[in-house]
Amino acid sequence: MQSYFKLIREMEVKLHSVLGELQELKNRTKELEEENAKLRADLATAYREKCSGSTAGESGIPGRSFLNLLELYDQEFHICNLHFGRRRTGECLFCMAFLRREMEPDGHDKSG
């Protein structure tokens, strides 16, 4: 009988250890999510500063319309043509590619 109690106690100690590791992982994940949100906000600020520093005609950077799309992206909405207007649950490679393309000097359509 004594050996079962010993095994149960050892298992309990192991479970507490795993629970502690899980809590550490949870805390680290929260830190990474906060850092990601800060970096996303910093990136949006940098885009806005770059856009507001010159007019759309001078640099080829879209003006107000680009800022509106950037604001939508900051509010967790898709701005890509695949999922436009839908709520984002994380980063979207298509949206990021769109933002990157729009930031390039010749990245947007100048025909209209």
Per-residue pLDDT of the chain (112 residues; tens, 9 = 90+): 679 999 999 999 999 999 999 999 999 999 999 998 888 777 777 777 766 665 444 555 557 777 788 888 888 888 888 888 888 888 888 888 888 887 776 544 444 4
Query: Which of 74, 99, 77 is CA-nearest to residue 89?
Result: 77
pTM score = 0.44
pLDDT of residue 53: 60
Q: How far apart are CA 24 and CA 37, in angstroms?
A: 20
C-alpha 78: how far from chain center: 12
